[in-house]
Amino acid sequence: MVSKSDASEPIRTSEIGSGLLAFDAALAKLLSRARRPVKVSQVPLLQAQDRVLAAPVISSMNVPAFDNSAMDGYALNVADFAKPPESFVVIQRIAAGQSGQAIEPGEAARIFTGAPVPDGTNVVVPQEQTQVQGNRVLVNGQLRAGQHIRRAGEDVAADDVVLHAGIRLEPQHLALAASVGVAQVPVYARLRIGVLFTGDELVEPGQALGAGKIYNSNRYALHSLLARVGCDVLDFGVVTDSLMATTEALHKSARACDVIITCGGVSVGEEDWVKQAVTNLGSIDVWRIAMKPGKPLAFGRIGNADFIGLPGNPVSAFVTFLVAVMPFLRQRMGLVARMPRYQLAVAGFDWAGDAKRREFLRVRQEPGESAQAVLALWPNQGSAVVSGLVWADGLVDLEPGTRVKAGDLVRYVSLSDLMR
Ligand code: AMP
Ligand code: MG
């Protein structure tokens, strides 16, 4: 549900370029503007993979629904566990899917995995521990009351919440929903995300690169990141650096999408038209965030669509997406908040630190002398150096003004964790 304050809160145009906003403050602002999704539909389990569950799933039954055998063997009614095991009269055979009659002390049922144990059973003995003689079964070894019996409700009890709202439905969730007999689940509508790229220098891979041009690498990163988030992507292509073209493209995408993400053109240059175009169509805040890589991140609204303007530099766009846009989109699509899984790790490098900006360094875990891994640093931490992202397996997150000496413990988070 969209709360009242969310829906009606105007987005003020802040003074652009006035100082740097602390990263945590920027993230908090961004998250405060992430409306929860409203539209819910029921989908069959086979179509629910990766969708976000909109309401809890409550079991109406016990799982297992009945006491059953965990082994192929014999269900026994043992009269006295203090005595050595005896032989039992086999009075019936129960396969999975069938049900049997009660057994009396000294009686047994031939039984198979998953078959309901008949009333009176207090032990299942695996067939490997038995010998058959005519209509009797002899048991070798000690018996323990209740062994190899799976009890009704030991996995799920009736009225248990088996799945909580706000999770992304993964294979194990679908298995559990199916095991309690649920055929359909309520999920939020998939977010439609419009992407567009600004810059007259951009050329698509596969095309010849003219003088002064570069390939549009952000497009491929962004599509792939959004595929992991699990939303529908509408690509509005590359927009030329002009106010008219930018305004037109944003106007069109706002009508078709829940969220628009642009790359580039939100900085302070004369060719940066995005903020002016968004301001004309709706409202915008541009936050110059005290982070490195990164800095310019824009947020606003055009009609009913949220607008997010990523920086153009590929590493800035990538890292900003992971640490700020990903949490926003998670909340916007109805997922419960989750903290990145930070670990303390040993730095294998020195770093002078940046007095003002929070830094996210591209690093990789290398085997150390002890069991603990040591973090190596990619030598070129420039915000356009994509090869460092490929080499790295994670980021070191440093508060402004943090100096690092080799051997210090630093906060590390893996790229794969940030992409979840
Ligand atoms: P801008 O924010 O538009 O000034 O762009 C900053 C830097 O990022 C410039 O060097 C751009 O050429 C580069 N850049 C912008 N968009 C992309 C893109 N889609 N792929 C790769 N580099 C880009
Ligand atoms: Mg540009």
Peptide bond into 293 cis (omega under 30): yes
Looking from the CA of residue 263, the nearest atom of ligand 1 is 16
CB 373 within 8 A of CB 364: no
Q: How far is the CA of 304 from the centre of ligand 2 (A)?
A: 26
- Which ligand 1 atom sits nearest the alpha carbon of residue 267? 2
**pLDDT for 339-372, tens place per residue?**
999 999 999 999 999 999 999 999 999 998 887 8
Mean pLDDT of 158-178: 98
Reduce the DSSP state of residue 306 to 3 states and report it.
Answer: strand
What is the rounded average pLDDT of the residues 314-321? 98
Query: According to the model, what pLDDT value does residue 5 have?
Result: 38
Separation of alpha carbons 416 and 394, rounded Å? 8
- Is residue 287 very low, low, confident or very high in pLDDT (cuts 50, 70, 90)? confident
**Total residue length of the chain:** 420
Distance 230 CA to ligand 1 centre (A): 25
Ligand nearest the Cα of residue 310 is 1
> Can you tell me which atom of ligand 1 is nearest the CA of 265?
3
Q: How far is the CA of 389 from the centre of ligand 2 (A)?
A: 21
Ligand nearest to the CA of 264: 1
Question: Which ligand is nearest to the Cα of residue 384, counting in written order?
Answer: 1
Which of 263, 276, 308 is the best mutation target for the ligand 1 pocket, counting ligand atoms within 8 Å of the beta carbon and taking the most?
263
- Which pairing describes strands 283-288 and 343-347: parallel, antiparallel, or unpaired? unpaired
Tell me which long-range contacts 226-231 makes (C-beta under 8 A, separation of at least 24): 226/193, 226/195, 228/419, 228/420, 229/191, 229/326, 229/329, 229/330, 229/333, 230/50, 230/51, 230/52, 230/168, 230/190, 230/333, 231/190, 231/191, 231/192, 231/193, 231/329, 231/333
Backbone dihedral angles phi then psi of residue 4, each to the nearest 5 degrees: -60, -45
* Residue 2 pLDDT level (bands cut at 50, 70, 90): very low
Q: Mean pLDDT throughout 232-245?
A: 97
DSSP 97: T
Q: What is the DSSP secondary-structure string of 311-365?
A: -SSHHHHHHHIIIIIHHHHHHHTTPPP-----EEEEE-S-B---SSSEEEEEEEE
Contact 77, 120 (CB under 8 A): yes
How remote is the CA of residue 303 from the centroid of ligand 2, in Å? 24
Higher pLDDT: 397 or 141? It is 397
Distance of CA 200 from the midpoint of ligand 1 (Å): 10
Predicted confidence at residue 197, as pLDDT, reads: 98
pLDDT digits (tens, 9 = 90+) for 37-63: 999 999 999 999 999 999 999 999 999
User: Which of 195, 214, 223, 297 has most ligand 1 atoms within 8 Å of its beta carbon, as the pocket-test mutant?
Assistant: 214
pLDDT tens per residue across span 85-113: 789 999 999 999 999 999 999 999 999 99
Ligand 2 centroid–CA 266 distance in Å is 8
Q: Dihedral (C-alpha) 76, 80, 84, 89: value to the nearest 10 degrees?
A: -30
How far does CA 348 lie from the centroid of its chain? 30
Distance 288 CA to ligand 2 centre (A): 16
Label the pairing between strands 40-44 and 374-377: unpaired
CA distance 8 to 11: 9
DSSP state at residue 249: H
User: Which ligand has an atom closest to residue 312 CA?
Assistant: 1
* Mean pLDDT confidence for 195-217: 97
197 alpha carbon, closest ligand: 1
Ligand 1 pocket, Cβ-based, cut-off 6 angstroms: 197-199, 201-202, 214, 216-219, 263-265, 267, 269, 272, 311-314
Q: Which of 294, 326, 300 is nearest to 312 (CA)?
A: 294
By the 10 Å C-beta count (0-12 exposed, 13-18 middle, 19+ buried), 234 is classed as middle
Ligand 1 atom closest to the Cα of residue 313 is 8
For residue 64, how far is its CA from the centre of ligand 2 (angstroms)? 60
Looking at residue 11, its pLDDT comes to: 37
The whole-number pLDDT of residue 401 equals: 95
**For residue 157, how far is its CA from the centre of ligand 2 (angstroms)?**
58
Which residue has its alpha carbon closest to ligand 1 atom 15? 312
At residue 388, the 3 state secondary structure works out as helix
Specify whether the CB–CB gap between 252 and 265 falls below 8 A: no
Answer whether residue 14 shows pLDDT above 60.
no
Contacts 24+ apart (CB under 8 A), 401-407: 401/353, 401/354, 401/355, 401/356, 402/351, 402/353, 402/359, 403/351, 403/352, 403/353, 404/347, 404/349, 404/350, 404/351, 404/353, 405/347, 405/350, 406/347, 406/348, 406/349, 406/350, 407/346, 407/347
* Nearest-10 Cα torsion for 304, 310, 314, 318: -80
